[in-house]
Amino acid sequence: MNKKYFKIGKKYVGHNKKTFIIAEIGINHGGKFATCKKMIKAAARSGADSVKIQTINVDESYMPNTLSYRQFKNKSFSNKQLLELKKYSKKLNVIFFSTPGDIKSLKKLIKIKVPAIKISSGLATNLPLIGSAIKSMIPVIISTGLSLKHDLSVLKKFIKKYKNKKIAILKCTSQYPAPAEDLNLNSIEYLQKKFELPVGFSDHTIGDHAAVIAVSKGAKIIEKHFTLNKFKKGADHHISLEPKEFKTMVNKIRLTEKMLGKKTLVVDKKIKNKRKKYLRYITAKREIKKGETFSFENIGFLRHAKIKQGLEPKFFFSLENKKSKTRIRKNQIFRKKHL
């Protein structure tokens, strides 16, 4: 079992810790600083542990005149603005961090001391970027939505070279939206065994069903796109949750955590106290005379709520075909002296 965990800000991520829930704002703010602050506040009120945006230098990340270039152009903030967003998030008790799209953006984020770095699926094979992020000794979360098994093996070998062990892996299906039949949430367990690191789920589905199931499969991080209006055009609004929906997802995840409990059989004290009340005990069906042979004809198994001690049904086999040493009254409970 993977027992690793680490801290992002004041929150723990990993084994036996609560699910770390990320509200992925991405570029749903449209490059508007005031909108981003409004979204952070809404995400904090919705129960998110953290908020994440994307920080990208388009000239370092995309070819000019492409769709991605146009989508991400003018959607990143200055160092001063990033620092203000970080401080604002801290006041709201939510952790602010970002996904860098390139080395320049990574350096920008390291400079303002973000508490975590997210590597997107499209950058999971960009080992120079990943190496630079890990070297910073900042916790790193790597999404694997576009990675083949070979890529995962290369990544595993690569990250083992570094001293920074505060690394988590995200299961992801890089479709927008991702259809149910393509999710393969069972592979969360595969990634846990493969990397022996905390594993989470970056959710691109519509709704919250997949995120809740992922937690039941062992996901310790849930990243879900967040918006104020999912019907707004552009970016990732259509696969995002609005504040009330996000809050519902958080509540479902927290309830799921309670239901899952521990990975061992635990009998609650309240249940233990009910055992004597609800279990059956060996009882005389009728009066049993001294010297009479014990059998199903004269032995029954009844519930006795006020019993302090008695023989459980498993002891019937020690009594069967043996002769009673004494007279036993009807409904009398058998005790060890009867064996």
pLDDT tens sequence across 249-281: 999 999 999 999 887 887 888 888 788 788 899
Question: Which tens digit of pLDDT belongs to each residue from 9-66?
Answer: 999 999 999 999 999 999 999 999 999 999 999 999 999 999 999 999 999 999 998 9
CATH match for 9-260 among 3.40.640.10, 3.20.20.70, 3.30.460.10, 3.90.950.20: 3.20.20.70
What local confidence, expressed as pLDDT, does residue 40 receive?
A: 98
pLDDT over 60 (residue 1): no
Same fold? 9-260, 269-338:
no
Q: Are 143 and 168 in contact (CB under 8 A)?
A: no
pLDDT over 60 (residue 111): yes
What local confidence, expressed as pLDDT, does residue 268 receive?
A: 81
For the chain, which residues make up each domain, given as ranges?
9-260, 269-338
Q: Are 249 and 256 in contact (CB under 8 A)?
A: no
Region of poorest pLDDT, from 101-110, 256-265, 303-312: 303-312
Average pLDDT, integer, range 97-104: 97
Q: Where are the alpha helices (DSSP H) in the chain?
A: 33-45, 58-61, 67-72, 79-91, 103-111, 127-135, 149-159, 187-195, 209-216, 243-260, 269-278, 316-319
Average pLDDT, the chain: 94
Closest listed residue to residue 230, CA positions, set 242, 248, 247, 246 = 242
Residue 159 vs residue 266, higher pLDDT: 159
Using alpha carbons only, give the angle 247, 71, 81 rounded to the nearest 5 degrees.
65
How far is residue 108 from each of residues 7, 128, 314, measured CA to CA in Å? 22, 16, 70
Average pLDDT, integer, range 190-209: 97
CATH code for the part of the protein at 269-338: 3.90.1210.10
Average pLDDT, integer, range 208-221: 97
